[in-house]
Structure 1
Amino acid sequence: MQRSVSVVGGGVIGLFCARAAAAAGWSVTLHDPTFGARAVGDGAASWVAGGMLAPLSEGWPGEHALLALGSASLRRWHDPVLRADLAGRGVVVSSGSLTVAFDSADAADLRTVADWVGAQGHDLEILSRSEVRTLEPSLSPRVRLGLSAPGELSVDNRALVLALESAVRDRGVQIIRAPVTDLDALTTDRVVVAAGWSTSRLLPGVPVRPVKGEILRLRARSGSASAPTRTVRASVNGRAVYLVPRGDGLVVGATQYEHGDDTAVTVAGVRDLLADAEAVFPAVGDYELAETAAGLRPGSPDNIPVVGRLDDRVVVAAGHGRNGVLLAPVTADAVVAELEGEPLAEAACALPERFPSLTRTRAR
């Protein structure tokens, strides 16, 4: 008899998990009230995201587990079957990322990242001011140093969600467009909870919380200067900012606040993002401000997701923070491995039992 599993949550993580479980032979039901009808006001992180796949350029000494997990997932983004599901849908929008420094302190940090990540066997390159301007002529002449990660990617998160929705339909996943409030009411053999920041409402012991982030979508106008072709990251006045290419312009992000489930876009957030983007890409002022939005990232206490079996029936996949799009493929493989009873070694750092409150739950 075919085994059955319910996946609760249809963001990028839930969609990847449903897709992988169906491919592994499970009968899958996906529960998400917004499936096929996403909207900015939902606050869902999957619809309000930059789409950076940048585990290397965001690495930092000591964060071995997160670097290894992110690198393992980045490799999976090149899987031929996944690429076939995404082909022709405008999902992958750029290759390579560039982090730039404007002062000596930031330049020193870039060298630290390059040395440490390089020592882990990954390809990063320090670029001089002139080399940065050769790669991206539209960037500010004030850039002092750059760090290039040619193997990183960026994706259009909304195109990705639509492609994954199509992929799960094609694999026979049953869609139920209604919220789940009681896991015991689900009749399948197994349950995967991938409900983003609201996972803790269904599983109160799971330490996942909402972390608000605002982003801007900017549209090029007739005569506007060409945007950077790579993802560009920088620190401006102590604030992190990124510019991610889209077919019609840029996504600029992102602020970060601990404000519960508030999704209001603030004047200060928009002001700071525009000012910081203009410091990096001076011609951005000629672009149209097409959209402002806020999403709620699912944060965990140690910034590593919570992925694994909680008991004989329930598997959790949440707490990915700002790395949900990057980590979705390795998370899906880890979830299927848990369903099959064989935890994925590459995702061992994400197992729930690292939290004492969940060790007791899993042991029942």
Structure 2
Amino acid sequence: MHTYPRKPYDVLVVGGGIIGLVTAWRAAGRGLRTALIDPEPGGGAARVAAGMLAAVTELHYGEQTLLGLNLASARRYPDFVAELEEATGLGTGYRACGTLAVALDADDRAHLRDLHALQRQSGLESEWLSGRECRRLEPMLAPGVRGGLRVDGDHQIDPRRLAAALLTACERAGVTVHRTTVTALRVVRDRAAGALLADGTELVADQVVLAAGSLSGQLAGVPDEVLVPVRPVKGQVLRLTVPPAYAPFLSRTVRAVVRGSHVYLVPRENGELVVGATTEELGWDTTVTAGGVYELLRDAHELVPGITELPLTETRAGLRPASPDNAPLLGPTALPGLHLATGHYRNGVLLTPITGEVMAEVLTTGELIHEARPFTPRRFTSLPADVREEQPA
């Protein structure tokens, strides 16, 4: 027998990672009767993410439009964290510690110099340091460091603690959390109208937000013409522990390109050190491989030789949700009542504050705020299917 709420929810959020949670929390804060569906809310990519809030050091050529959204979200982070921590009494591990991006050889140094020029052209604050100045800031760095960029505005947060706080915030705001799986979108008269759950229950809703990360493109019942062009990109990450005798090991996030591969080390206040991350186009595979662990430790060792003395406490692999242009899909789709909040790729944690704001505004007024307008899901729907599938990463 199907069960129904006495009246439809105003909003049904499919997916309980940090993006789904912040969407549900902000929707409830606007007075919308909100439900969230996820078998393990607070899980997903946040369990693997390092939590770098790196709008400046994550800048890539061709992504200047995304930079605007990233910076807008970074500016919101201090107030967002203060509000969330006050609402829940839970810490998020937010640290305004800055980031140091370093080069280990002449090619990497040239690449970093180019990045510095791009940052300056984009109006961003970063300071070029010599190798000696880098080692003065972080004495554990390898002697061969050739130079680096000091970015005091790129901070960090602990995504696992962030997810836990957001889940608590949702529950306190009155969000109904269904710890189960969605099997299909409910469509009535060419409009999204809720969801069918694994136990046969139908949930009725005026609006549905699909925020299921890499799985967002897999939901049954979504019409073919409503494209959700996200794919999984595997990332392996390591966690080590810095014993008290070794502290302080690093005072800020340190990152580099080693033989063309990006590596970063993120030190937490609790003594944890996160090392990541591989980027692998391997579909839905989440296997932790010896090769992935080896490459991360090898590259991290070249950067900070003392890392091999630390206990290795966790290895994990997860899936980042990537869109064809590596930017998120935010807002209404061509199917009335269905909205997307997915495709955040490398920037899900960074974009959490502004995503919550964007989606709450869309759900209450139907309008995208200025910063989010370039990221409407409809930017992909005019492409032929075969072209969409072949869009470069």
Q: What is the TM-score of this pair, normalised by structure 1? A: 0.92
Find runs of 4+ consecutive structure 1 residues off by over 4 angstroms. 85-88, 357-360
For the pair 1:314 / 2:338, whether they are aligned, the reply is yes
Matches within 5 A, 1:50-129: 50-79=50-79, 80-82=82-84, 84-85=86-87, 89-129=91-131
**Percent identity (aligned):** 45
Which residue does the alignment assign to 1:356? 381
Whether the 8 Å contact between 2:108 and 2:258 is mirrored in structure 1 is no
Whether the 8 Å contact between 2:14 and 2:208 is mirrored in structure 1 is yes
* Higher mean displacement: 71-80 or 82-91: 82-91
Specify the SS of the correspondent of 1:182.
strand
**How much has 1:60 moved relative to structure 2?**
3.0
Deviation per CA, 1:298-320, whole angstroms, max 9, x where unpaired?
11111011111013211001111
* Higher mean displacement: 50-59 or 93-102: 93-102
Which residue does the alignment assign to 1:301? 324
Specify the SS of the correspondent of 1:95.
coil
Specify the SS of the correspondent of 2:153.
strand
Which residue does the alignment assign to 2:241? 219
Specify the SS of the correspondent of 1:167.
helix
Matches within 5 A, 1:194-343: 194-202=211-219, 203=222, 205-221=227-243, 223-224=245-246, 226-246=248-268, 247-310=270-333, 311-339=335-363, 340-343=365-368
Task: Give the aligned length.
Answer: 354
Deviation per CA, 1:99-154, whole angstroms, max 9, x where unpaired?
00012222122222222222222211111112211211111111111111101111
Which residue does the alignment assign to 1:41? none
Partners of 1:60 and 1:353 in 2: how far apart?
A: 23
* Higher mean displacement: 237-246 or 88-97: 88-97
Whether the 8 Å contact between 2:88 and 2:165 is mirrored in structure 1 is yes
Matches within 5 A, 1:147-226: 147-184=149-186, 185=195, 186-202=203-219, 203=222, 205-221=227-243, 223-224=245-246, 226=248
Specify the SS of the correspondent of 2:120.
helix
**How much has 1:2 moved relative to structure 2?**
9.8
For the pair 1:7 / 2:13, whether they are aligned, the reply is yes
Specify the SS of the correspondent of 1:285.
helix
Deviation per CA, 1:144-199, whole angstroms, max 9, x where unpaired?
11111101111111111111111111111111001111120330111111000000
Q: 1:279 to 1:85 in 2, by over 3 A?
A: farther
Deviation per CA, 1:302-356, whole angstroms, max 9, x where unpaired?
1011111013211001111121101111112121222121111101121111113
Specify the SS of the correspondent of 1:295.
strand
Structure 1 unaligned regions, length at least 5: 39-43
Whether the 8 Å contact between 1:225 and 1:283 is mirrored in structure 2 is no
Partners of 2:262 and 2:89 in 1: how far apart?
A: 32
Specify the SS of the correspondent of 1:223.
helix
Partners of 1:141 and 1:230 in 2: how far apart?
A: 18
Whether the 8 Å contact between 1:206 and 1:358 is mirrored in structure 2 is no
Deviation per CA, 1:17-56, whole angstroms, max 9, x where unpaired?
11111111111101111126x5xxxxx2111111111011
Partners of 1:354 and 1:117 in 2: how far apart?
A: 27
**How much has 1:239 moved relative to structure 2?**
1.2
Which residue does the alignment assign to 2:200? none
| 2:56 partner amino acid | L
Whether the 8 Å contact between 1:53 and 1:74 is mirrored in structure 2 is yes
Partners of 1:298 and 1:58 in 2: how far apart?
A: 17
| 2:21 partner amino acid | L
* Higher mean displacement: 312-321 or 216-225: 216-225
| 2:371 partner amino acid | E
Correspondence for 1:22 among 6, 9, 28: 28
Whether the 8 Å contact between 2:210 and 2:342 is mirrored in structure 1 is yes
Specify the SS of the correspondent of 1:325.
coil
Partners of 1:66 and 1:76 in 2: how far apart?
A: 16
**How much has 1:64 moved relative to structure 2?**
1.1
Q: 1:75 to 1:214 in 2, by over 3 A?
A: same
Structure 2 unaligned regions, length at least 5: 1-6, 187-194, 196-202, 386-393
Q: What is the TM-score of this pair, normalised by structure 2? A: 0.85
Whether the 8 Å contact between 1:94 and 1:245 is mirrored in structure 2 is no
**How much has 1:71 moved relative to structure 2?**
0.5
| 2:36 partner amino acid | L
Partners of 1:222 and 1:345 in 2: how far apart?
A: 47
Specify the SS of the correspondent of 2:373.
helix
Whether the 8 Å contact between 2:236 and 2:317 is mirrored in structure 1 is yes
Partners of 2:25 and 2:360 in 1: how far apart?
A: 10
What RMSD over aligned residues (CA atoms) do the two structures have, in Å? 2.0
Specify the SS of the correspondent of 1:74.
helix
Partners of 1:100 and 1:325 in 2: how far apart?
A: 23
Partners of 1:305 and 1:83 in 2: how far apart?
A: 26
For the pair 1:344 / 2:369, whether they are aligned, the reply is yes
